[in-house]
Amino acid sequence: MSSFEFIGFEVEDGVAVLSLNRPDALNSLTFEMMAEARDALQEVQIDRSIRALILTGQGKGFCAGQDLKNRIPTGMDVVDTLMERYFPVFKAIRTCRVPVIVAVNGVAAGGGASLALTGDIIIAAKSAKFIQVFSRIGLCPDLGSTYLLSRAIGRARALEMMMTNEPVRAERAAEIGMINKCVEDEDLMATARAMALKLASGPTYALEMTRKMVDDGEDEVFETRFRRELETNRILRDTRDSKEGVAAFLEKRSANFAGE
């Protein structure tokens, strides 16, 4: 089994656990992390002894979204680069050969919230919270958020989250159908593992086909929306408000938006 630097990956009793491993940065996403996650998910596809997958984060947070310091290489198109390096991971989770349980510990912000919503069954610790944050930096939600969130909780609630950036705590997320279950922090991984073991003892291929029928015709829509979000943000990144929002975020201050 491969060894990784930016993720953890282990298999026990037919259950694989993929954990994001940049705890000092609240597991914010980088190209290197995505490359390792892609390799680990490929192992899940190949290893027939794996019957369920748990996705979680190490440390105090699930994932704080994209690392804004992880710059696109000079001369590379931002949309094509993110579609090449990020989208395959999200697609691999959505179309995984085995059921995917997401165990959300702590904050799931921006693209981290998108990543959490990509799974099949989402269990969150009581201390967890979901935040969109994109408009805080003058951007629109991306990495599938406009598709996944609105599909999970409806247009009105999704737009409220996206426009206000107000955090939604785990208990509320369960109430509105964003996640399946909220549990005490100390019970998170035990609950996720119990669910994974239950699903791992089931008819794996039938479960995969069940998800496929639920998502029938949606995968192409998801990919299209993923790209359109990135294309929209490529335009927004050149606006005054976005530049101010990113600067304010990195400087840990309130942004002074001018509406332009």
Distances (CA, A) of 165 to 24, 120, 129, 148, 175: 23, 24, 12, 16, 19
Residue-by-residue DSSP string for 89-127: HHHHHHT-SS-EEEEE-SEEETHHHHHHHTSSEEEEETT
Which sign, positive or negative, has the C-alpha torsion 110, 122, 37, 17?
positive
Residue 170 domain-assigned? yes
Domain containing 166 equals: 7-186
Residue 18 domain-assigned? yes
Residue 24 domain-assigned? yes
Which comes out higher in pLDDT, residue 254 or 203? Answer: 203
Q: How many domains does the chain have?
A: 1
**Average of pLDDT values for 95-111?**
96
Residue 225 domain-assigned? no
Residue 236 domain-assigned? no
Residue 203 domain-assigned? no
Token pair of 221 as six digits: 């829509």
pTM of the predicted model as reported, rounded to 2 decimal places: 0.92
Residue 63 domain-assigned? yes
Residue 179 domain-assigned? yes
Q: What's the mean pLDDT when you consider all of the chain? A: 93
Q: Residue 193 — φ and ψ, nearest 5°? A: -70, -40
**Average of pLDDT values for 225-243?**
92
pLDDT of residue 232: 94
Q: Which of 130, 111, 110, 139 is nearest to 257 (CA)?
A: 139
List pLDDT tens digits, range 148-174: 999 999 999 999 999 999 999 999 999
CA angle 67, 39, 55 (to 5 degrees): 65
Reply yes or no on whether the pLDDT at 94 is more than 90: yes
- Using 50, 70 and 90 to split pLDDT, how confident is the model at 35? very high
- Using 50, 70 and 90 to split pLDDT, how confident is the model at 100? very high
pLDDT of residue 2: 65
CATH of residue 94's domain is 3.90.226.10
pLDDT of residue 1: 55
Which sign, positive or negative, has the C-alpha torsion 58, 180, 87, 203?
positive
* DSSP code of residue 136: G
Q: Residue 169 — φ and ψ, nearest 5°? A: -75, 160
List pLDDT tens digits, range 44-87: 999 999 999 999 999 999 999 998 777 777 778 889 999 999 99
